[in-house]
């Protein structure tokens, strides 16, 4: 019997795909699915091959391709350190990274659009968890304009969103101190989606260097000391404070020119690599559109592989 394959056209999240595989093989938990698939492809033990790689191999999909197109790693772990043994031009998430955070989602709780889920169930007889709905800053479905809903626990990824909706066991998203249609947040969310859509990891050194050069070009400070405004100053001027407080440890009393590590690490070299949220924020502040930002990074990686 053929395994259900991930629905790429629907941007299906791997965890939801694993849930559908669970239904197919009669497994009740995610770990039972991984165990069944490892057995099917002849891999023993949990420490060798990351679970998502085992799913990919069982489905006949190249593991890096499956992880890139169906996990949240292209957003949550956008940057990776160049690994000379793998070739600088082909950075990839290491097996420990895929094992440790490949199954995590930025929001934690499974998030869905009820109308998308019901329409999809009517069309395919099942519904899928969509990756872009799991991104921070996204509160509504762009197709239906309807507020997104959440399942009450992470285990619900084993069910289908249409079933969660039918059960009535869902939550509305918590009220925010910021509005989803604030222009800066709309642009931030578009950057996050664009990062996810690249379906790959990016070389950390190169991207940070490019963002720093861009910050300098638009008149921002690229060192801790100086009189020019910082990227974080621009963030405070552009974003609602409630949004920044939700995603970054920011000072409650803002002082212009004060280095905010969680934000400024995207444009100033620090030992801490910027998170996916920090990269999306920097892209939205430094470039006119997410496409322009990604084109600049693509060009940079082609010139300096």
CB of 1 to Zn ion, least distance (A): 31
Q: Which one, of 278, 206, 279, lies nearest residue 247 by Cα?
A: 278
Residue 66 or residue 112: which is nearer to Zn ion going by CB?
Answer: 112
Using CA atoms, how far apart are residues 14 and 25, in angstroms rounded to an integer? 16
Query: Parallel, antiparallel, or unpaired for β 79-80 and 202-203?
Result: parallel
Q: Does the protein bind Zn ion through residue 196 (CB under 5 A)?
A: no
Q: Which of 143, 223, 228, 298 binds Zn ion (CB under 5 A)?
A: 143
Provide the CA 58 distance to its chain's centre, in angstroms. 24
Integer-rounded Cα Rg, in Å, for the chain is 20
Stretch that binds Zn ion, among 129-137, 142-150, 165-173, 193-201 (CB under 5 A): 142-150
Q: Does the protein bind Zn ion through residue 141 (CB under 5 A)?
A: yes
Q: Does the protein bind Zn ion through residue 140 (CB under 5 A)?
A: no
Q: Does the protein bind Zn ion through residue 263 (CB under 5 A)?
A: no
CB of 120 to Zn ion, least distance (A): 9
Tokens 């595989």 identify what position? 21
Residues 63-82 within binding reach of Zn ion (CB under 5 A): none
Residue 49 or residue 138: which is nearer to Zn ion going by CB?
Answer: 138
CB of 165 to Zn ion, least distance (A): 12
Q: Does the protein bind Zn ion through residue 223 (CB under 5 A)?
A: no
Residues 144-163 within binding reach of Zn ion (CB under 5 A): 144
Q: Within 13 Å, how many C-alpha atoms sit on residue 265's CB side?
A: 17
Tokens 């998430």 identify what position? 93
CB of 110 to Zn ion, least distance (A): 15
Q: Does the protein bind Zn ion through residue 139 (CB under 5 A)?
A: no
For helices 51-59 and 30-41, the axis angle rounded to 10 degrees is 50
Q: Does the protein bind Zn ion through residue 176 (CB under 5 A)?
A: no
Residues 98-137 within binding reach of Zn ion (CB under 5 A): 113, 115-116
Q: Which one, of 118, 156, 113, 168, lies nearest residue 135 by Cα?
A: 113
Under the rule (CB under 5 A), what is the footprint of Zn ion? Answer: 113, 115-116, 141, 143-144
């Amino acid at each position: 019997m053929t395994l259900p394959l991930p629905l790429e056209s629907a941007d299906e999240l791997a965890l939801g795909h694993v849930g559908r595989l669970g239904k197919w093989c009669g497994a009740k938990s995610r770990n039972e699915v991984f165990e069944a698939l490892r057995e099917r492809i002849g891999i023993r033990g949990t420490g060798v091959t990351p679970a998502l790689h085992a799913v990919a191999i069982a489905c006949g999909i190249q593991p890096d391709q499956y992880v890139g197109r169906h996990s949240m790693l292209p957003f949550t772990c956008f940057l990776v350190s160049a690994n000379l043994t793998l070739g600088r031009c082909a950075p990839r998430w290491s097996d420990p990274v895929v094992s440790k955070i490949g199954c995590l989602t930025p929001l934690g709780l499974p998030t869905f659009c009820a109308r998308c889920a019901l329409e999809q169930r009517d069309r395919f007889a099942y519904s899928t968890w969509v990756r872009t709905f799991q991104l921070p800053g996204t509160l509504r479905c762009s197709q239906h304009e309807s507020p997104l809903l959440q399942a009450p626990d992470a285990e619900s990824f084993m069910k289908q969103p249409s079933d969660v909706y039918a059960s009535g066991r869902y939550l509305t998203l918590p009220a925010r101190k910021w509005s989803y249609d604030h222009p800066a947040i709309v642009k931030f969310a578009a950057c996050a989606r664009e990062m996810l859509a690249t379906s790959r990891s990016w070389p950390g050194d190169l991207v940070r260097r490019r963002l720093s050069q861009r910050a300098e070009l638009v008149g921002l400070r690229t060192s801790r000391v100086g009189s020019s405004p910082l990227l974080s100053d621009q963030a405070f001027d552009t974003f609602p404070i409630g949004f920044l407080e939700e995603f970054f440890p920011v000072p409650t009393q803002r002082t212009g020119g004060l280095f905010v590590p969680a934000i400024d690490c995207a444009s100033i070299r620090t030992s801490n690599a910027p998170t996916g949220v920090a990269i999306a924020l920097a892209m939205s502040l430094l470039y006119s559109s997410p496409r322009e930002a990604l084109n600049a990074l693509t060009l940079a990686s082609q010139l300096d592989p």
